[in-house]
Amino acid sequence: MIRLDKQFLFGKFKGIFEVYCKEENPLHFVLKKMLEKELIDGIIGTTHDEKSLKAKLFTNSNNLELSSISFNGGQISLLKKAIQKYRLKKIAVVAPSCILDGLNKTQYYGIGCNWVKTAIALKIGILCLGVATEESLKYEVLDIAQKKSKVRRSYVAEEGFILETVEGTKIKVDMETHHHYVNSACKYCLNLSARGSDITYVPLEDKKRAIFIIRSERGWRTLSIVQKAFSQKLQFKFLNYSDIKYLEDLLKKKVILNIDSILERVDIGLPAPKWNNNRFRKFYRIWNSINEINIEEEVF
């Protein structure tokens, strides 16, 4: 049994830092400098054009512009193109946990494409409270603010989860409302903090600041190289776990809602991805045998 605490919500990590960049978004800055120093030869992430969000391959630091809204679609297909067509060998992937979970399985279990096994130089996971389409986000804003508007970015703050519209309006969103508008698969996810990444990226209100949760030696080494080379432009502040307690509270609220969605499917006899009947019944029995204060689950 494990508690629904930092071990479950965040997984293992080596350090937590608030990163400040004098020039731009710290994630953009780090990735650009990694390209310039040839630590990587390509970046797969999400960009936002005039029409929609889409996965994109970047090989030049001059045109790097990642979306501030989570998106899960097309990254793995693009990865195959990057390796087989463009012969890239040191790729950084920036994506939410659902994409990285699939990538990890592809790498470690050789599912369908062993060619990807050694081509990944860095995995940057985005802390994700659920992906929603642009249209869904417009209606979520309408639901809360009584005015339909396009969302430009989302971030977390001590007061909660925030959506920022193109007009600059900042809207606090409660997890129950957000849960209603996210994609169906996001309602069953139990890995919101991208535990299978080298670094988890958490966007903050100040676009020049972000939280980096460093999980692997590779992530630690990569950031050390960039920080030493550009110490005047990139500043790292060590954080204690107590400094991100508000993140734990947000993740816990969303995970509990997701588990409720899983159990609801059990009650009405519907299947869900990765969950067979035996696993559902076991999870259902365990979850309903504990009280509301001490929430635990069995590893299975």
Structure tokens at 228: 């030493």
Q: Among 79-93, 114-128, 220-234, 261-275, which stretch is predicted with the lowest mean pLDDT?
A: 261-275
* Distance, CA of 111 to CA of 107 (rounded, Å): 8
pTM of the model: 0.87
Structure tokens at 217: 């030696």
Write the pLDDT tens digit of every residue in 66-105: 877 766 667 777 888 888 888 999 999 999 998 888 888 7
Q: What share of the chain is helix, strand, coil (3-state, %, to 5)?
A: 40, 25, 35
Residue spans of beta strands (DSSP E) within the chain: 2-3, 15-21, 42-48, 53-58, 91-96, 120-126, 151-157, 160-165, 170-173, 199-203, 209-214, 234-238, 296-297
Looking at per-residue confidence, does 231 or 118 come out higher? 231
3-state secondary structure of 52: coil
Neighbours of 142 (CB within 10 A): 12
Q: What does the pLDDT average to over 3-18? A: 87
Rounded to the nearest 5 degrees, what angle is found at the Cα of 168, between the Cα atoms of 202 and 128?
25
What amino acid is encoded at 74 in this protein? G
Q: For all residues of the chain together, what is the average pLDDT?
A: 85
Q: What does the pLDDT average to over 238-244? A: 95
Write the pLDDT tens digit of every residue in 253-287: 999 999 888 878 766 666 655 555 666 566 656 55
113 pLDDT above the threshold of 60? no
